[in-house]
Structure 1
Amino acid sequence: MAEPRHRYSALSLVLHWLIAAMILAQILLITAHEATEGPLSREFVQIHKALGLTILVLTLARIGWRIAHPALPLPERMKGWERILARGTHVLFYVALIVLPLTGWAASSAMGRDIVWFGLFNWPLLPIGGGRETAGALMDLHGIAVKAVYVLLALHVLGALKHQFIDRDNVLHRMIPLIPRRP
């Protein structure tokens, strides 16, 4: 019988932390965009769009990897409501990380605005019309999804800290290689 896994695979770790860093970069880019004007502001938006589409692709890859390599089991001592909250938070993260770039992509497409992927090529626009009105409605959805991500981030971080400092159950060790495993 194989020994149980105590840590996620290297690819799972890389995808998790890369996407996390990109989410932080997205927040910083949009904050910088709102604080500036002119060409620099537009450049922040272009990078935001390219990074968002990269997050979409990486999230789809992560979901595929997760299907092929299921999550580690939750600690046996977790209560039922904690299990539901933990799994629900993860599922909603995946949903948000798909909805956010799709709504941004769709809004750009509705306006006919090119998305240049890091200066390398034009990302194809979706066959969506409707102009400013449609784009505005899509950006409203985008904004709601952003707020959902903030709530999910808070729940995710608070849950990780609870596992590390209150439950002391090695859950954080699974995703942060520098944290030693408790016996």
Structure 2
Amino acid sequence: DGSGNTKDISRRHQITVSLSGLITITGGKWTTYRKMAEEVMDKAIIVGGLDEKECATKHLPIHGYLKNTDFEAPLYYYGTDRPLIEETILAKDARFKEKLHPRLPYLKGEVLWAVRHEMALNVEDILARRTRALFLDARASMEMAPVVAQIMADELGYSRKWIDRQTKAYQELAEGYLLLKKKRH
């Protein structure tokens, strides 16, 4: 049901080799993925008796990279995926062009994109890890949660109970991110 918590996953990576020679890497961080790839390739060269070769990720652009990004364009942060989002989601249903909240730039269609193409499994995935709405405006993200849950449920075939559970869990999480006003004495 996508309710697992990612904070328990190790930030350090580990490479293991099974008896059959299967190489597995676990843990790690987005910011060290190139180093992780290099270490896996080095291990594969040793385990597989392959010819040594320099790791090719040093100059390989990450998915979505655009050389000249227009930071004023809507959905610019999707890079090369932007036209695909516009064609496959936004152009098909005008409702998905609507903002999730007036104070934030995120569109309803981005929820569908995250579910279909970025493996988002729950409301927290969308509002904390895909859009970063939780960190930009926790209160607005709390208001977005029921809408996000409904869009996800419609796409994934989940029940009203799932929507309610997801919304409640997200509200509880987001409360910890609210900026509280200090009382004056």
**TM-score range relative to shorter protein:** under 0.3
Bigger-Rg structure (1/2) = 2
Bigger helix fraction:
1
Higher RCO structure, 1 or 2 (CA under 8 Å, sep 6+): 1
What TM-score, normalized to structure 2? 0.26
